[in-house]
Amino acid sequence: MLDLIRKKQKTTVVQVVFWVIIATFIGTIFLVWGKGRDQERDMTVAAQVNGVEISFEEFKSTYSNMYNLYRNIYGQNFTPELERQLRLSEQAINMLIEQTLLLQEGERLNLKVADDELVQAIAQIPAFQVDGLFNKEQYLSVLSYQRMTPDLFEQMQRRQMLVNLTRTRLQSSADASDADVAEEFRRINEKINLGYVAFAAADYRDMVKLNDEQVASYYAGNQENFRVPEQVALNVLRLDVKPFISQVSVDEAEVERYYNRHLASYEIVEQASAAHILIKLAADADEAQQQKQRQLADKVLELAQKGDFAQLAKKYSDDKGTAATGGDLGLFKRGVMDPAFEDAAFALEKGALSGVVQSRFGYHIIKGGGVVEAGFTPLADVRAEVEGGLRLELAERLAYEKAMDAYNINRKQGNFSAAAEALNAVPVETGLFTRGQAIPTVGLSEELAQRAFAADVGQLISPVKTAQGVVLAAVTEKIASHIPELAKVKPAIEAAVRHQEAVVLAEQAAQAALDKVKSGAKLKSVAPQGSTVEETGLFSRALGDFVPKLGNVPQLAETAFTLTIKEPVPAQLFAAAETFYLVRLKQLQPADPNGLTAEESERLQTAVLTRKQDELLKDKLTELKDTADVTIAPAILRSIEGK
């Protein structure tokens, strides 16, 4: 057990530092593409680019890297739907294709990575260093824990360096002149104010006159929109697991096996505890203020070395949240505190004082509270929890076995009543439900739903473990997916037709108003009855596609900044959320040339140069793609297409 704990600790540390080395080997999920097709399961090539193969392992690794990146960014909001919207498969394969094209272009340009450049680059990777210097044993150890040979890693590193070298060469012709900088300053600092009139479809619904012919015609052309999905109803027997707990017994060997199987649940993350005294320093403090605060921090440190740290914290600390409790911060994990503060706190022994530590908040004097080493909670300390979990698992197994016995005895005859009697359970009707719905009285259970929709009426369904316990069910009713009669969905059809016609009326009214404004009419004269001309207020390009008061309206911001005092009205309407907008330039505020300071000019020159470099690279990649012979594996294409 001790060996396992040490191995777990060391492996975790090595993995963390390795992630910093090479992102493409983060992969923590294993994707199975084309499941059920032996030929595609054995596929090893994800794509070919001008005859060069991209392995399926490379694709999976890159996909995993992206998956974890977005999951870390979005947290609990990273849903399967968001995953589909991000089109990770397409992103991953395109990234690999572009890397391959850049490698091929680098070879065409006769670019090379010299051996000494490769050695120097690897030596500078912090994960391979000890006390700031490259350490061969550390290097081999990190690679070993990732099951990677030095030759493979060096090949990967050389490949990535060549990609970067090619990218730099392709971007090298970009430049940012003074005229470019001046234009960029004008572009991002000029502001406009738009007057606008809104024509919302909702305001035209009451104007729509419907007749039966319209409704019937609409339904005939849109029947699939009203299709009733397949439905099924069940009779269910729910076996609560808890009553079976008293019927199971456990021995020491089973307890240890359960503990080992669930070891990750008892992992202890490395933590430190500390107290501190903060001498706050403003981010914009001048040299005199910095010196003053540092002198105060030195004084407090000297006092702390002789006196009561808690009392000094109450008197001097600017961290009002902890000063009253003697500066106590409690336990914290790595990655929570400012890096400089964290490094010092984790290095301190219990009761020891740091020197003056500077962070982005100011100067700290830290008192160590001890470090909780990474590892696992011993079995002895969690025995009750482990035994409870084991008993629940065995009870669930026992309940499942009893349900399976009842199922096996009665499935041929489909005798649900006999099964209920054997289990001493009361049947409950679910009523009709559709795929993807929570099953009434049971809750969400994809496994039970799949079996239910695959079974025939009267057929018993084998037991399924659910959040409500073990469930044995029989199908009582099935309704196939069908197009309903018009009469049954007439109100919904009428609402759809009314909505569609209201959108048409709103657009027609907006277009008529635009024609009048282009002929010289004022916005106020064409505004719908009951509405007024609104203004966005001054805004700049810094907001991107967002327009104040209107939100993101496709193409509006981009077009608005092309308007002039002489040509203040755009040629088209703009639509969003079933509302049509007629806009007119009301005010143009030029950029203040005095704002283009030397510092701002330098910043903009960097931004313009970066943009031009990116554009050059993008154009070159487009050219390379257009002339390349690229073949992507069918399984990946289906994934991209969402099939």
Structural domains of the chain, with CATH? 2-173+631-640 (1.10.4030.10), 191-223+488-589 (no CATH), 231-262+381-479 (3.10.50), 270-373 (3.10.50.40)
- Burial class for 519, CB neighbours closer than 10 Å (0-12, 13-18, 19+): exposed
Closest CA to 260 of 391, 379, 373, 375: 379
Give me the residues paired with residue 353 across strands.
367
177 contacts: CB under 8 Å, gap ≥ 6 = none
Helix (H, G, I), strand (E, B) or coil at 74: helix
Cα distance between residue 4 and residue 185, in whole Å: 60
Here the tokens at position 567 are 């040509």
Backbone phi, psi, residue 614, to 5°: -65, -40
**Which residues of the chain register pLDDT less than 70?**
1-43, 642-643
586, 194 in Cβ contact below 8 A? yes
412, 481 in Cβ contact below 8 A? no
Closest CA to 200 of 527, 524, 520, 536: 527
The pLDDT of residue 117: 93
The pLDDT of residue 642: 67
426 contacts: CB under 8 Å, gap ≥ 6 = 237, 420
The pLDDT of residue 567: 95
Give me the residues paired with residue 200 across strands.
579
Give me the residues paired with residue 549 across strands.
none
- How many angstroms separate the first and last alpha carbons of the chain? 46
Cα distance between residue 198 and residue 363, in whole Å: 55
